[in-house]
Amino acid sequence: MAKPEVQKNYSLKDSIYLVELLKGLVLTWKHFIFNIGASFRKGPHTIPTTWQYPEDRRPISPIFRGEHMMMLDETGRELCVGCGMCAKVCPAKCITVDNSKVPEGQEDRYAGKTYSKNFNIDLLRCIFCGFCEEACPKGAIVLGQGYELAAYTHEGCQLGKDRLLENYKKAKASGTLKPALKPVPVAGAAQKAEATSAVPEGASKAKPEVTKKVLKKAEKKAGEGE
């Protein structure tokens, strides 16, 4: 480690200090004037580093993982068949699904032969990983753009079917609706992962549903192994 160089012999200009002080004052004055101008400008987010939250909102990525919603198909039927894959894959175990046969005469409400009678997401447990979205065979559950999830009660943190469907309506109205994100399969990644002993066990057992991230990691590790 090289010692940091400390200037010991100051020139007269430096030791008088007033010149440097004036330079500093000019610098802060420039900032002051710029920000005064910015604060009088109209429109949101005029001061460069601060977002005035309730008024200014940061743009969210289109694949942001926020509040969940339950998707409907083009004819307005629920896509969910109540298979429970989401509940299985959920690492936080926050989803509970009760499935049931679609009753006679209600085929126009549900797309499949079965449907989820009860569907509940406990937001207090949810870690917004998006596994449910990736696991769902019907693309029925999608993580949307909502992130203001504060509530006063435990019940307020439960996403029942009513709230999930309402979120869908809201997303459709605001035009932020997007299809469920699916993992991008990487050619040969799973086989490679199996072939290399350096890969942890969890990754080698990976099934086709395994997430994009795990796959990528496995591939990277495999690449390093070779």
Whole-angstrom distance between the N-terminal and C-terminal Cα of the chain? 35
Tell whether residue 18 is a contact of other proteins (CB under 8 A): yes
Report how far residue 127's alpha carbon sits from residue 208's, in angstroms, rounded to the nearest whole number: 22
The interface mask with other proteins, positions 49-68, x = CB under 8 A, is xx-x----------------
User: Exposed, middle or buried, 12 (CB in 10 Å: 0-12/13-18/19+)?
Assistant: exposed
Q: Does the footprint of other proteins cover residue 21 (CB under 8 A)?
A: yes
Strand partners, 85: none
Name the DSSP letter for residue 62: T
Min dist CB 55 to other proteins, Å, is 11
* 19 near other proteins, judged by CB under 8 A: no
The answer to whether 225 and 195 are in contact (CB under 8 A) is no
Tokens linked to 127: 């870690």
Q: Is residue 9 close enough to count as binding other proteins by CB under 8 A?
A: no
Q: Taking CB under 8 A as the rule, does residue 2 contact other proteins?
A: no
Q: Which x/- pattern, by CB under 8 A, does the window 33-52 give for other proteins? A: --xx--x-------xxxx-x
Closer to other proteins by Cβ: residue 49 or 153:
49
Q: Strand order in 95-101's β-sheet?
A: 95-101, 114-122, 158-159
29 binds other proteins (CB under 8 A): yes
> Is 25 among the residues that bind other proteins (CB under 8 A)?
yes
- Give yes or no for a contact between 90 and 159, defined as CB atoms under 8 angstroms apart: no
When asked if residue 32 is in the footprint of other proteins (CB under 8 A), the reply is yes
The residue count for binding other proteins (CB under 8 A) is 17
Q: Which stretches of the chain bind other proteins, using CB under 8 A? A: 18, 21, 24-25, 27-29, 31-32, 35-36, 39, 47-50, 52
